[in-house]
């Protein structure tokens, strides 16, 4: 995978009809600034039991070094008391593989925060996590599970041969633990992203399609579906380059720019924390090494920050941001328009 500087340079080298900052200005959103902080998103590291083709984190089983240390976990817990964020969004890699995953969940639940576990499903089949569906349900943790499609061929093409079958088994275990049955304390959300260089369909229509297909063919249920646009970074960027499709895909995103998607962007209500403790406007900026900076150029961290300075910051934007503002919009919570 290309390093972040090379990825940004490649995106900047393309001839596009419009720059993102110009699109913001025309829409009356420049400079883009945050709204009220609602979500503290904690990236616990890049260790994962899978290596998916579309992964923007470049996670995998060999990423054992890039994991959050205990002092930074402690600082994230302390930030819950200072930030006012009502939701703690745990991501990775596979966040469950981090040794402090359970401690962080317990700390957030004890403070009355809504907790999201961004789960790849197959991690639940590891013997040491057999208890996890019941454990998460007892604590009211929402499971946001990646499932590109309700058919095996489409899912396996993106996430590896046999992944669909393992994902269905994991969904059945979640259903058995009470997830996906309409219980707000055991909410099961599926996350769909296209298996190619195109935008997802209508989110509501996709949810109906997934619901029919999974219940009819697999006997599994879920509570809601969110659809995400594929971001032109990391492994998906490499995939686009290999197929000589990067330019056309970026042009497609620019042409589909939707001003109505801006208000609900995750960068406006989320603070993203890297495994090193650096702060970012979103998870995608984190992967492109575009941290939040103070006016003097210094970097606030989860160990040293103030709500006041973060509230006044301009959000860092580059060309990849067209990915979140195309079509119905795309954010960690799905469509934004």
User: Taking 90 as the threshold, does the pLDDT of residue 195 lie above it?
Assistant: no
- What is residue 59's predicted lDDT score, i.e. its pLDDT? 62
Which range of 82-96, 186-200, 313-327 scores highest in mean pLDDT? It is 313-327
Instruction: State the average pLDDT over residues 202-231.
Output: 96
- What is residue 55's predicted lDDT score, i.e. its pLDDT? 61
- How far apart CA 218 and CA 221 sit, in angstroms, is 9
Percent of the chain with pLDDT over 70: 96
The kind and range of the H/E element at 311 are helix 307-311
- What is residue 140's predicted lDDT score, i.e. its pLDDT? 98
HSE, side-chain direction, 13 A CA sphere, residue 80: 23
- What is residue 93's predicted lDDT score, i.e. its pLDDT? 84
What is the dihedral sign for C-alpha 74, 79, 80, 81?
positive
| pLDDT band, residue 2 (cuts 50/70/90) | confident
Instruction: State the average pLDDT over residues 214-224.
Output: 97
Beta-carbon contacts of 287 under 8 Å, excluding residues fewer than 6 positions away, are 4, 56, 57, 58, 233, 234
- How far apart CA 317 and CA 24 sit, in angstroms, is 10
| pLDDT band, residue 334 (cuts 50/70/90) | very high
pLDDT for 86-117, tens place per residue? 999 999 889 999 999 999 999 999 999 999 99
- How far apart CA 270 and CA 280 sit, in angstroms, is 9
- What is residue 24's predicted lDDT score, i.e. its pLDDT? 98
Q: Which of 57-71, 122-136, 291-305 has the lowest mean pLDDT?
A: 57-71
**Helix residue ranges, H only, 3-69:** 4-12, 20-27
Query: Which residue's entry shows tokens 């006044």?
Result: 312
| pLDDT band, residue 157 (cuts 50/70/90) | confident
User: Taking 80 as the threshold, does the pLDDT of residue 212 lie above it?
Assistant: yes
- What is residue 63's predicted lDDT score, i.e. its pLDDT? 78
Residue ranges and CATH numbers for the domains of the chain are 4-323 (3.20.20.70)
pLDDT for 46-80, tens place per residue? 888 766 666 666 667 777 788 999 999 999 999 99
Average pLDDT score over the chain: 93
């Amino acid at each position: 995978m290309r390093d972040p500087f090379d990825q940004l340079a490649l995106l900047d080298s393309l001839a596009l009809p419009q720059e993102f900052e110009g699109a913001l200005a025309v829409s009356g959103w420049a400079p883009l600034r945050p709204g009220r902080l609602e979500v503290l998103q904690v990236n616990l590291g890049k260790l994962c039991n899978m290596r998916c083709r579309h992964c923007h984190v470049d996670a995998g089983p060999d990423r054992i070094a890039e994991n959050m240390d205990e002092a930074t976990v402690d600082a994230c817990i302390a930030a819950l008391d200072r930030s006012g964020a009502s939701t703690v969004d745990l991501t990775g890699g596979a966040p469950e593989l981090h040794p402090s995953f359970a401690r962080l969940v317990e700390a957030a639940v004890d403070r009355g925060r809504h907790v999201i576990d961004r789960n790849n499903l197959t991690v639940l089949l590891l013997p040491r996590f057999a208890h996890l569906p019941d454990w998460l349900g007892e604590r009211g943790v929402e499971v946001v599970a990646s499932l590109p499609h309700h058919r095996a061929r489409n899912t396996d093409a993106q996430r590896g041969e046999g992944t669909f079958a393992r994902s269905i088994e994991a969904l059945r275990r979640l259903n058995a633990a009470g997830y996906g049955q309409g219980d707000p304390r055991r909410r099961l959300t599926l996350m769909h992203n296209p298996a190619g260089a195109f935008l997802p369909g209508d989110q509501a229509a996709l949810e109906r399609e997934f619901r029919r297909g999974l219940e009819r063919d697999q006997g599994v249920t879920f509570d809601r579906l969110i659809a995400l646009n594929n971001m032109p970074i990391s492994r998906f960027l490499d995939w686009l380059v290999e197929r000589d499709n990067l330019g056309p895909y970026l042009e497609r995103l620019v042409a589909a720019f939707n001003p109505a998607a801006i208000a609900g962007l995750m960068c406006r209500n989320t603070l993203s924390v890297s495994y090193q403790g650096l702060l970012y406007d979103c998870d995608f900026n984190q992967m492109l090494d575009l941290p939040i900076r103070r006016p003097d150029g210094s970097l606030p961290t989860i160990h040293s920050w103030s709500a006041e300075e973060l509230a006044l910051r301009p959000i860092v934007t580059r060309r990849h941001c067209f990915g979140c503002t195309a079509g119905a919009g795309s954010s960690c919570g799905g469509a934004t328009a």
